[in-house]
Structure 1
Amino acid sequence: MNVLIADDDESTTLTLSHALEAFGYSVTVAHDGLEAIQLLRSGRYRMLISDWQMPGMSGPELCREIRQRHMGRYIYIILLTSFSGSERVIEGLEAGADDFIAKPFNPSELRVRVRAGERLLGLETRELTIFALAKLAESRDQETGEHLERMREYSRVIAEDLSRTPDFRDEIDGEYIRLLYLTSPLHDIGKVAIPDTVLLKPGRLTAEEFEIMKTHTLLGAKTLEDVAASYPGGGFLKMARDIALTHHERYDGKGYPSGISGDEIPLAARITSVADVYDALTSKRVYKEAFTHELAREIIEDGAGTQFDPRVVASFVRCEDEILAIKNRFHDGYLGQEPHTLPSRSVLAESYA
């Protein structure tokens, strides 16, 4: 990460630069606030360490200028000061500073505070990246309505319930649930590469077209791998990649693309699979009417141990009231129509390609 230092004192900038470079950061020095503003406009810097007292523009004044300019991406600001007292802290925070380091600074403290800022910036960037990719996935199929919103809510509810069970309480924590909520909408990102003639076909797919449709799992995984590889700190996309690749695998090993089974299928994909299928069943598509909640629940229960992890299905059933409330809250116009109640069970394999 590139760190910008704004300080007119040469000895301080040299000490800060040497410490930050030893920690693996790239450092640029601005000798006053105006120079710092010009460098920040380049977009190369997400973190600024500024002295409180500088000629022309003080550290708090620099903070206010940055916040007023809306730089496009959030700039994390640490003020370096020899002042003490709550009044100075309040003044700095009101100006827009995120943290403080006292002079003379301790290199270990500097490292901890910079790393803390880096983590916070990573969270912001992570969510923006996921949101942009999810909107890309959604843009190819206008018929999905609020599908992504509903299925991420279903996934969250199921994961929260599973976190309270003996089998999963050590695997699912608050961060896991949040990451699942953020990444589950990327399950069909690979459909951006499927031809319109297949993706938007108003009817059932031929065997050849279905084989083309099935490649969206591989294409989605490859897309997310490429993003992660070219994106510093992109490790958070691993869950998204796992979901995109394996959400059509079956618990009995008869799914695609790899035919893996049971716990070989990542848990995030096993959860997403149930959420995705339930929403597809209860939503109208060009090739089917919306099924009732009761019928969709019956189909999912029938799939326990074959298509779905039975523990995830049990969680789905336990959370039925919450699931139904979400379904009714995030409707997209289709759900007000009379549901079709007598579908063929064979529609399952074709409806969620």
Structure 2
Amino acid sequence: MVDDTPANLRLLYEILDEAGYKVRVFPNGQLMLHVMGRIRPDVILLDIMMPDMDGYAVCEAVRERFGQQIPIIFLSALTKAYDKVRAFEVGGQDYITKPIHPQEVLLRVGAQLKQVNERERFSSNLAAKETELKEYQESLVKTLLRLSELRDNDTGNHIERVQALATTFAELLIQEPRFQVSPLFVEAIRLASPLHDIGKIAVPDSILLKSGKLSDQEWEFMREHVRLGGAVLQELHHQFPNNYFIYMAMDVALYHHERWDGQGYVHGLVGEAIPLAARIVTIVDVYDALRTSRPYKVAYSHEQALTIMRQMEGAFDPNLFEVFTAHESLMSDTFESVLEVDTQVLILK
């Protein structure tokens, strides 16, 4: 409570102390603001007409330093509408006109504390739900990836590298305003990018692991993995239509084999019609494929991989690829760090 009249402070103290509140009284706003550096009140009762620093100025200082969370109830003999409007404009939540009536003070203080408790309960529930959702999403990704690893451990390792590369790449794009990438986007692509090839769980081993060139029929079947993956994730999207991660995962699965020039598969999208997350995964997916050995090819060095990618005219978003090559050392380091972990795991096995 802040009031420059001792009798008012004494009366308010007796009313609230008797009701079981812990009360601190201050003769001026400067002293209260100083103490608030150490002690945060649940509610502030604030007089308006005080020397040096009136109640309006004190309220503005509280809002500037401590935000909107602490309820402020003005107490004043001022009864004009202008004074009350001004009180709410500077951040007050309530206004009690003097002379003070004990029951009115208790009811208004109680109402403000109830709102504080409800906000805290809501925030706590929201935080718990966000944690639960994040754990669910992590578990979902791990379960789906486990299916891929059961088919082929090399596929699992590829997924981990694409995840690391896509996340690192997206983090770089935060510094590029033209792409409008947010921390939420980075977290979503971290979860979504490992699911880009989830449709391959339906591709037979005879095609997936074939060392020679695929026949036209086999190639058509292989291309269908994007539709199959998209269909799996679309079912999840129908169940959780507002889930940003699932929506991005569906985009990545469906469109990560599209090309900037429209010559990709299976939808033939062109340019920015391809979702940004899919354009990112396209680049890192090709980079990882070139850097690692497959049944049908040897692994290329970082320099060889970039040379080949530069020759793939029309394959990638040119602006994205420019950022990728501008940070090629970081991308190579990211690839090597995950590859080193994978190698150590294989040795331990």
Give the structure 1 partner of residue 274 of structure 2: 265
Tell me which moved more, 210-219 or 235-244: 235-244
Cα displacement (A) at 1:221: 0.5
- One-letter amino acid of the structure 2 residue matched with residue 296 of structure 1: A
Give the structure 1 partner of residue 4 of structure 2: none
2:333 matched to 1:325?
yes
Give the structure 1 partner of residue 137 of structure 2: 126
RMSD of equivalent CA atoms: 2.5
The 3 A distance-change label for structure 1 pair 197 and 113 is same
Q: Distance in 2 between matches of 1:130 and 1:333?
A: 20
Cα displacement (A) at 1:103: 8.1
Cα displacement (A) at 1:196: 2.1
Tell me which moved more, 201-210 or 282-291: 201-210
Q: Distance in 2 between matches of 1:195 and 1:324?
A: 32
The 3 A distance-change label for structure 1 pair 236 and 143 is closer
Which of the numbers 300, 317, 322 marks the counterpart of 1:309? 317
Query: Could you give the per-residue CA deviations for residues 88-126 of structure 1, whole angstroms, max 9, x where no partner exists?
Result: xxxxxxxxxxxxxx9898555544432332222111111
Gaps of 5+ in 2: 1-112, 344-349
Cα displacement (A) at 1:159: 1.3
The 3 A distance-change label for structure 1 pair 110 and 142 is closer
Query: Could you give the per-residue CA deviations for residues 237-295 of structure 1, whole angstroms, max 9, x where no partner exists?
Result: 11000000000000000111110010000000100011000000010011000112111
Give the conservation status (yes or no) of the 8 Å contact 2:252–2:277.
yes
Give the conservation status (yes or no) of the 8 Å contact 2:188–2:244.
no
Q: Distance in 2 between matches of 1:236 and 1:162?
A: 18
Q: Could you say what secondary structure the match of 1:167 adopts?
A: helix
2:168 matched to 1:163?
no
Q: Distance in 2 between matches of 1:166 and 1:118?
A: 31
Cα displacement (A) at 1:146: 2.1
- One-letter amino acid of the structure 2 residue matched with residue 134 of structure 1: L
Cα displacement (A) at 1:331: 2.1
Which of the numbers 215, 227, 230 marks the counterpart of 2:224? 215
TM-score (norm 1): 0.60
Query: Could you give the per-residue CA deviations for residues 131-190 of structure 1, whole angstroms, max 9, x where no partner exists?
Result: 21122233322333621221111112221222212311xx21111111111210100000
Q: Distance in 2 between matches of 1:331 and 1:299?
A: 21
Give the conservation status (yes or no) of the 8 Å contact 1:157–1:319.
no
The 3 A distance-change label for structure 1 pair 299 and 229 is same
Q: Distance in 2 between matches of 1:112 and 1:196?
A: 49
2:191 matched to 1:176?
no
Give the conservation status (yes or no) of the 8 Å contact 2:145–2:156.
no
Q: Distance in 1 between matches of 2:324 and 2:115?
A: 56
Query: Could you give the per-residue CA deviations for residues 296-336 of structure 1, whole angstroms, max 9, x where no partner exists?
Result: 011222235x000011111111111111212222226999x
Q: Distance in 2 between matches of 1:138 and 1:145?
A: 5
Q: Distance in 2 between matches of 1:133 and 1:108?
A: 37
Give the structure 2 partner of residue 203 of structure 1: 212
Which of the numbers 155, 158, 173 marks the counterpart of 1:144? 155
2:307 matched to 1:298?
yes
Give the conservation status (yes or no) of the 8 Å contact 1:283–1:334.
no
Q: Distance in 2 between matches of 1:147 and 1:104?
A: 51
- One-letter amino acid of the structure 2 residue matched with residue 312 of structure 1: L
Give the structure 1 partner of residue 292 of structure 2: 283
- One-letter amino acid of the structure 2 residue matched with residue 274 of structure 1: I
The 3 A distance-change label for structure 1 pair 328 and 319 is same
The 3 A distance-change label for structure 1 pair 162 and 233 is closer
Percent identity of the aligned residues? 38
Q: Could you say what secondary structure the match of 2:339 adopts?
A: coil
Q: Could you say what secondary structure the match of 1:259 adopts?
A: coil
The 3 A distance-change label for structure 1 pair 331 and 104 is closer
Give the conservation status (yes or no) of the 8 Å contact 2:192–2:248.
yes
Q: Whose helix proportion is higher, 1 or 2?
A: 2
The 3 A distance-change label for structure 1 pair 166 and 210 is same
The 3 A distance-change label for structure 1 pair 113 and 166 is closer
- One-letter amino acid of the structure 2 residue matched with residue 180 of structure 1: I
Q: Could you say what secondary structure the match of 2:126 adopts?
A: helix
For the pair shown, which has the larger CA radius of gyration, 1 or 2?
A: 2
Q: Distance in 2 between matches of 1:235 and 1:165?
A: 21
Give the structure 2 partner of residue 256 of structure 1: 265
Give the conservation status (yes or no) of the 8 Å contact 1:217–1:245.
yes
Count how many residue pairs are aligned between Structure 1 and Structure 2: 232
Q: Could you say what secondary structure the match of 1:240 adopts?
A: helix
Give the conservation status (yes or no) of the 8 Å contact 1:284–1:334.
no
